[in-house]
Structure 1
Amino acid sequence: MSYENLAGRTAVVTGAASGIGEAVAVLLAARGARVAVLARRRDRLDAVVEKIRADGGQALAVAADVTDDGSVDAAVESVHAAYGAVDLVVNAAGVMLPNPVDDGRSDEWQRMIDTNVTGVLRMIRAFTADLVGAAAEGRTADLVNISSIGAHITFPNYAVYGATKAALTYLSQSLRGEFGPRDVRVTNIEPGLTQTELATHIDSDGLREQIDGMIDAMGILSSAEVADVVAYVTSRPRHVNLRQIMVLPTRQA
């Protein structure tokens, strides 16, 4: 499989302190991209950068909170100062806080909306000019959003999380109409059960047991396996847009 189209590119990956974001950053760097890794936890980002550099890759740690306008603006300045314009953006930051809607946990609702939807919009606003500019110069330009199978399939107690991911899937579809004519590709990736830190945020023993039961029954993807999908779609010839991919464990119907 050829990944030559990743060599020499400049990528920004959010949620890069762990899980899918970290795996994407490591793989893109291994394939020759220089990668700015964004997340809130600076210590974790430093460890990711150290890992990438130890393997001969290029990486920059940028502590940033996608729910904060000022933090994103500062991150853009840091990325541009170090690497210049960006041609590949991967929105992997996300939070999953399942609970019954009638629990009324509006703080959790807002956190999921701010991260999973508005946070993505902040990153798109921050780097649209870079992506459009790269495409106008004849280079490959990619926007990749990590959504979820939860955008399509309902799970009890995951209504708000699923709604945020459905919004992200719809946003990706709509953005293709805006960006595609300018040669910027938009890819929406919807993983099923995947080994990440999302499940550790669940504060209900019953819901954690539900997740464990699903994993026992259906298996689970590694973050690296989802990252491989990201690397594949972004390394295709620039006129080829794999627009939407659902990636699941084989037993997850």
Structure 2
Amino acid sequence: MRDTNGAPLTGCAALVTGASSGIGAATARALAREGASLALTARRAGRLEELAAAIGADGGTCVVVPADLTAPEGARAAVDEAARRLGRLDVLVNNAGYVVRGAVEEGDSEEWRRMVDLNLIAVLRTSQAALSHLLAAAADGPRGVADLVNVSSVAGRIPRRNNSVYSATKHAVCAFSEAMRQEVTRRGVRVGLVEPGMTATEMTAGDAWASLDQDMPPETWLRAGDIARAVVFMVTQPPHAAVNEIAVRPVSQEV
């Protein structure tokens, strides 16, 4: 059992969306190591229970809040349940996402809708639902600040062919994050954007992704833990400092 006394997030509560695998799961583990109590949300309850058990076995506090964030009330219900069970909310990491690659000409409009609903609308809803909790934590919490981190993508900055709708959703998340930052930063809520490049996760598994770039074989891609470290770096800054944007690419990735 680890000792979290003196860890930078001791006394804080964090909610991570899309926590059933990949970047979300790695981020939850990393935040727990820094002393945070965790709430995990995703649709796959079994996966969340396994992760919560692992975090608990290592001395952490973790609750599971299964939710479909694309449902109209799913995001608010998940946020409010997490805050109720943990007693507060100091950190929100919006990580849940979905991607289907393909040319616009052959695109499936239902897949487009799913990307927009999860990558963008769910982020808007979850962020809005969390703001009252985060503002309260910034006003009376142990750190004097709270953090909202949106996991976007370098695709939101530099679109690539056959990735148009996903890029559009992530570009919108970039714009939303900056505008929201301006609204709440003077009230102690730091808004950050983490933009991964090619990362080996369940979402990018398969031959279609492996052949995306012949000059960037999968063994050179980032791992989920690389992105988790960026999130931790962002939320463990001293109260007067805000790291608002981090792009993390594999060394082999040019764009």
TM-score (norm. length: structure 1): 0.92
CA RMSD of aligned residues (A): 1.7
Distance change (3 Å), C-alpha of 1:176 and 1:73: closer
Q: Secondary structure at the match of 1:245?
A: strand
Match in the other structure for 1:88:
91
Do the aligned partners of 1:4 and 1:31 also contact (CA within 8 Å) in 2? yes
* Contact 2:139 2:145 (C-alpha < 8 Å) held by counterparts: no
> Do residues 32 (structure 1) and 73 (structure 2) align?
no
CA distance in 1, matches of 2:218, 2:13: 39
Structure 1 residue runs of 5 or longer lacking an equivalent are none
Shift of 1:165: 0.5
Once the 2 structures are TM-superposed, how far is the Cα of residue 209 of structure 1 from its aligned partner? 4.1
Give deviations 1:38-94, integer Å, cap 9, x for gaps. 100000000110111111111111101111122223323421331122010000000
Match of 2:200 in 1: 195
Counterpart residue number, 2:240:
239
Distance across 1 between alignment mates of 2:55 and 2:214: 34
CA distance in 2, matches of 1:162, 1:121: 17
**Which aligned runs of 4 or more in structure 1 are off by greater than 6 angstroms?**
none
Q: Which amino acid aligns with 1:86?
A: L
1:120 is paired with a residue whose SS is helix
Per-residue Cα deviation, 1:83-118 (whole angstroms, up to 9, x for no partner):
122010000000011111111411011000000000
Q: Percent identity?
A: 40
Select which of 170, 178, 186 maps to 1:173: 178
Alpha carbons 1:183, 1:239 under 8 Å: kept = no
Check the 8 A contact 2:83/2:133 in 1, yes or no: no
Residue ranges of structure 2 left out of the alignment (5+ in a row): 1-5
SS in 2 for 1:249: coil
Kept after mapping to 1: 8 A contact 2:12/2:36: yes
In the TM superposition, 1:150-161 aligns within 5 A as 150-161=155-166
Moved more, 71-80 or 12-21: 71-80
Task: Determine if contact 2:44/2:66 at 8 Å carries over to the other structure.
Answer: yes
Of the candidates 99, 108, 113, which is equivalent to residue 110 of structure 1?
113
Shift of 1:212: 6.7
| Equivalent residue number for residue 62 of structure 1 | 65
Distance 1:40 1:215 in 2: 32
Matched, 1:163 2:173: no
Give the paired residue count.
247
Deviation per residue, 1:115-159 (Å, 9 max, x gap): 000010111111100111111226220000000010111211000
Q: How far apart are the structure 1 equivalents of 2:37 and 2:111?
A: 34
Question: TM (normalized to structure 2)?
Answer: 0.91
More helix by share: 1
By relative contact order (CA 8 Å, sep 6+), the higher-ranking structure is 1
